[in-house]
Structure 1
Amino acid sequence: MENEFTVNSKEYWDTRFETNWDSYSGREQTLYFGGIAIEMLPDWFKNVLSEGVTFADVGCAEGDCTNFFSKLFPNTDFTGIDFSESAIRKAKEYYPEQTFIQADIKSIDKKFDVVFSSNTLEHFINPFDIIRDLFRISSQYTVVLIPFQEYERFSEHFHTFDYKDFNVEYNGFTVVYAQEYDCSIKENIFWAGKQLLVIYERNQENQKRKKDVTLKDYINSLTYNYSDLKKELKGIQLENTSLKENNKKLEINLNHLIETNKEQLALIHTNIINTDKLNDEKIRYIEQVNSLENELNTSISQNLASKEKLDFFDKQEKWLIAEKYRLDTEINEIKSSNIYKISRKYYKIRDNVPIVKHVYKGLRIWKRHGFYALCRQIKHKITKPTPQNKVNKNIETLYSNINEKYQENKINGLFIIPSAFEFDELYNQRTINLAKYSSKDNKAVLFVVWQWNKNEIIPGAFKEVYPNVFQIPLFEFTENIEKLQLMNEISNRKAILNIPSEQWNTALYRIKELGYSTIYDIMDDWEEFNKVGQAAWYNKQLEEEMIINVDSVVAVSPPLSEKFSFLRTDIICIGNGYYDDLLGENNKYISRKNNTSNKITVGYFGHLTESWFDWQLVESMLKNEKIFVEIIGYGAKEATINNLKKYSNFKYIGKVEPKNLYKYIQNWDIGMIPFKKSKLSEAVDPIKIYEYIYFGLKVVVTGIPHLELFPNTLLYSDEIPIADFIYKVYKDPIENNDLVVETFLNESSWDQRFKKMMEYKNIYNTEIYHYETAKNS
């Protein structure tokens, strides 16, 4: 490719996006850097994005990071910009709901509040010409994420950035935040070096330029803590010593095996030469030789692996020692400089002297937001309680009211239920249905709604959004968790957790201390979701900690029970379910009718998750004109739907409320769940399968093997064409209103599912207790 086009030219990148961008993991790398940016951005800047601004992602490639950011900050208006026509065309196909512009940065004349560029500037010989254009279209902030101190450059990179390259004030902008990140400390396949994030803020008009300084003057605030480096170095040295000792043992064992092998080979050779016929003793010798050779090969492999690991840690140790020496030198230089001594005194006075501290904060508000904003802030401080006091008052009032309900016998328990969604009575989702079930059982429910940051507004906060169900924002709940003590008199208190995030892992320990019984409900394979760019909060170690530390664990599907069976043996499977009153009590088996026409109608309803929905399989069905396909749902790409609309036997309906589903399903012959086979799909227990069976449909499934055990459900493999399989399913008799289907539906209602969950008594801790008791008796 480099022979055909100039590296980094428009033609070069168009060809890259058309040929090998996806196969070289370009999209995954874009998301990887996006995730690093989110980790590095300071909280105050995330608050800016949460409040809502216009944001340009310059050099957006195929739009993966633009879309990733938009999910995290829904109030911000994101625009992806790239000069490659191929990249923008694909971005629009992948994310039709996002805005993308194909243009050279120099031709953009529109301004954005925030301009962001991730890992693009290094591709230019004169990157600071590009930075000036970023400043030109930025009205407030310019943010760059770049490879840092890349002294051995990748072939597509033309510039190596270092501290000296970034003036603190440049072209009307001032650095307000800078941080470096060493990617080598995390396991990844996309980048092994450092990354640098710099945030510039536009200066106000007529602001005088300060003396020229660069990031090099502030190096101590950018490098890793020296004590952390020493701990890491000590750990590597200990492991290095252990490996060396192990290596010596392996070498001794290896030499012994070689000598033994030589003796045995010589003995067998003599026997074979002196005797024409092998006797039992010779056979035994040969078997022994084979065994020794296998052991020898194993030992050699272990020795090589040990040496490779030893070499790696040797290099790491040398690098850390060199880095430590360099940091020591730089720190001493900085501490001995006049600017460090003066600035240290300045910040000490500014941040610790009460009058000076408040005057500085006031002047900063005046400078950034104007005199009127400063007056409003002063008035707010004088007349209003602090936000924390206000939140405490809301929680205290709510918890006191719940306690009064208990005293008046209006409730008989209290459940804490986290949720990724706000409560919606008509939304058919596991945590919402659990809250509704608990409400009917006279339990008060603290329905704790996920927040990405403290400033994210949750409608209905601290209100009773459903009888006995009270909605609380995540941060208000976790930061005031001690207030739960106001309801200590209530018996039957449970926490049914389902989000293995840092916030909930921390809260778990305090909830247990306060006397709540705890359940962890494994609703999805969060690890696999995280791998495809979702569930950014996920941490594998935290999930395993939660599974070990809760009282009992339930999983939504057999694969999820099996996945964590190495941690606990008492995980039971409690699948999803259905509510007949939501679907219509008179609509049971509504699709069971005699189809007198020659056409077969196959339908689907639900979220059209791109990560697993098999559109190619659907298109294969449509190629048979007698098979009609109806899709009810949301989340599909516009380009995908438009592509299928060319078939006259395809119909896309969009969103439909659960109570109206029967109007469409009564005309269907078969329900389908066409999911691509993956760890992500194999772990799901789709709610729609229960609803399909309730409506009386036959069901065709791909990618979810455990559903084959359900009545009227058939698993498709590619042994025959999908159209032939559809015909076969259509002609086979359905299991009518018999004992099998009725029993399945009775056991699969949400009420039965949650009753089983609440009544389940774990045996995890009692097994240990009985074992210890038996052993000591």
Structure 2
Amino acid sequence: MNDRNSINSNQYWNHRFESDWELNGGCEQSRFFARVAIEALPQWLVHKVRWDNLSVCDWGCAQGDGTETLAQLLSWNVTGIDFSQPAIERAARVHRTAQFLHENLLDCPDRPPFDVLFSSNTLEHFAKPWDVFEQISQYASKFVVLLLPYREFDRHVEHEVTFDSRNIPLSPTPDWVLAYESVVDTRSHEPTYWLGHQILLVYAHTEQLSAQRLALVDARLSAGDSRATGTFAERIVARAPAESSGADEAWAQIDTERLRADEARAQSNAERSRADEAWAQMGAERLRADDAHAQLDAEKSRTAEALTQLDVERSRADRTYVQLEAEKASTQVSQSALATTATQLSALTQECETLRDKLAQSTTEHIRQANAVHVREERIHFLQYREHTLMTEVSTLLATRSWRMTAPLRIVRGIPNWIRRRMNDVNYVYRNGGAWDVAIRSRAFVLKHLQRRDEITPAATVAKLPLAQPYPADQATGTTAVAQAPRTPRALPDIFVFSIIDWHFRIQRPQHLAREFARAGHRVYFFSNHFVDACEPGYSIEQLDDTLALYQVKLNVRSAPAIYFAAPTPEAIEQILAGMRQFSHWSGTDRSWSVVQHGYWYPVATRLQSECVAYDCMDHHEGFGNVPKELLRLEEQMMERADLLVATSAWLEDLARKHNPHVSVIRNAGQYRDFCDAPAERFVDPRGRKIIGYYGAIAEWFDAELVALIAQSFPDALVLLVGADSAAVGDRLARYPNIQMTGEVPYAKLPFYLYSFDVCLMPFRVVPLTLATNPVKIYEYLGAGRSIVGVDLPEMAQFGDLVRIADTHDSFVDEVREALADLPDSQEIVSRRKAFAAGQTWAHRVADFRDAIRALPRPKVSVIVLTYNNLNLTKDCLDSLERYSNDVDLEIVIVDNASSDGSPAHLPAWAASRKNVKLILNHDNLGFAAGNNQGLAAATGDYLVILNNDTVVTHGWAMRMVNHLRNDPELGIIGPVTNNIGNEARVATRYRGLDEMHAEAQTLTDRRLGDWFELNTVAFFCAMLPRSTYERCGPISEDYGVGFFEDDDYCRRVQAAGLRVGCAEDVFVHHHLSASFNKLGEERKRTLFETNRAVYEAKWGRWTPHKYRETTGA
């Protein structure tokens, strides 16, 4: 089957599909035969497949045109399969309704069967078609549907068999029976691609045949065919005696002609075989000649390099000899000083040891103080949260009607004491100063009291405490005093982790993911939820690991708000974005992936022009019960806008898929190497009791009642709880003498306690929050090989028998009892637990994260380049498109308006060498609008770009404009800033060539990253619109002939549709300005302008001339 001359070989069909398949109407034939099959199918089978949602395989689907027809017209779930890689690649690229797989069922792959296997005009290519049927029927469980040429006595050169009623079996194998057949005369179809008959055969599996309960009328076994030909048969019978001898002669002549055809076919195949062999031999000779030339050139190059190297070595040897002579003289001097140096070295070594000890003590003290500072920061944020909550309650109380109504009662109640105090004051003043002094002091007291009531507010009583700043900020720029990172291109994008916690808080998923991204080679910047209270934008940097490119960044935000209690204000967003621009300038970031872990960051992360914005949905935040609705709304918007939505559990996955189609489940994990080995020291119970242990947060989801029951059930065991208690659980468990709580401990100390646990607990309450939880501690428990008992949550199912599961308090206690009774655990179960944990590390999760991002579909952008002469400018434009559009799925549609400068000769070869290019050559200059409309109609992208050929695009131009359109659905069309245009999009530039242009463009746009402004008209030298705008507003108006005013007209239509017109300040496109119009001459341009202005004003009223912005520098 590997011989290319074989009709059924892979090489033969690859060659067909890559050369003449489409030229010979292969696509149209596939659709034609699919429609023939659809018309001939029995209705009971059509309904069966649709109602039972049966899976259908189109075996031998070629380039998928027939498969697409089946899927569209029958609404079937169809999968096309073919053994030709080029055919399947084209099918998957062109057709989106069906799925396509590159497989060869005749190689007996190990795959599950489909319910229905369909094949159109395939078996005739095989000499033993029913042996092939036996092979392929293994991949169908209910029905096999075949469409075959019928009574093809003059066979096609590629066909091996002629099918008629004599060689079509009713039961090809014991398991399959013919349930339906229908003969179709395709000569009457318009158009037709088969001048003869086709037969449709439906074979049913024997089990399915009995289950289907078909009647005789459902089988149609040649009924229609006999009715259609009955009269004709009767005539033949009547004429039979008279024409018998003539028929015999005709059959003999047919046999003779068939023999001649077979001989011609054999001779043709032999000639084709010899030609292919000669061609292959010629190619081999050419390859050998090329290899010989390459080897000769390599030998010449190596010889020249060797001679050069020899000269270099000779010169180096001469210099080395001179240096050795000089060093010999200096060695004698050095030896005399060596003894003195040795004595000094001994003294310095002793001093170094002393300093090392002091440094170790200082480092320990620094770490202790740093930890204390971070603990105080967390305490400050907690107290701020409590103060915020209490002040809200006080404000609510003071605003109630009952408080206002009882105000007189409070005044009356306090009057006696107040009068008594004031009378004592008056008596004292009267005795010491008289009546006049009493009056003066009384007046001053009243005024002071009223003033204090106006000035004192509850908020003024709270002191602002500054946060620690690891590096001092530069007062001039607001940036940190860290050396600027080099501006070198990086192979991997930087990772921006917009975290839900500070790095120095309890080690959890955010820190683990960030560290593993850094270990994978990325630079990782971990943006803390703690802000620096400052009025000016800025940031501070803390390097977290000397061996990794891993940093924590704290941004400046006025009042340093906590991210948990309110959405960011517009002022905070702008200050954060300004700080991020300063930071990106320092870091030299040109590519980034943003990993967002809290909805507060949504308005910031989506404006940073990252290649991917991923929302890492770790928890069901609504389940916490205290999250403000405005933050929940931001989270919902983040889930809908994210390029990738990551869920940590199956429960969260179900929620996520309601908001976003691009969902990936990346569960939590464990840092196996931190837990797999027993520590040198471990916790020891002084009384030697069995230890039932838990570590982690002790919060509102912690089941204190269950732990109390465990303590009661096992009074001779120690219940050891390790972790911060934020829900006053300790107060409820204080009466149990066998419960011990340690409080928060550092992450590094967890193995000290874990390896003392005989049984590990996961005592969670079953609430919406925990239903969505994938617990990290289970992976860590398993990494130590410990025995575990947990509550029945959805995410526990993945651990199988490695974890004991209980769904009630009593059964939980029973499981703990069984776990204690099974101690010590067998080495087999311990090894299985560790093996599972070793395959579920944070490194695995980051690998999954990276794969999920790389698998995301890129937005398809179709760029329409209209050309009219200026071939050199066209070449620069097309080169920049290919060079700077790597972050999108680019389609280029070139429309040439009858250029006379060699463009029609150059462009076809350029377009033919690229798969993503379409070319339209006009014989007449149709004008700007008509030419662009041709390109827009041919474009297939989700985003459409009108681009003049006298432009040069820059790095990231397309993705940045796409992101602006995605971030604001009301934005209907957008353009870039440029060096040369007659409206607000123009910015001042200094560059003198295209090389300088790209560097200056990056500086201009990075300063305004994420910004765009609204203007009245986008000039159509470069404009991007989503397909939705194009479908709402239609093509460009062709009322303006060759050009002028088309862009004004289209922008009025966009605005009339309720959409906005924008200009992206972070996208720059170089523009030569009117290179094509300048060919027309000034007089014709002026006449054209005035004529089209009148056309525009007749539609839209008085035209408003374009103008520059007051400040055109970015």
Q: TM-score scaled to structure 2, two decimals? A: 0.33
Q: TM-score scaled to structure 1, two decimals? A: 0.46
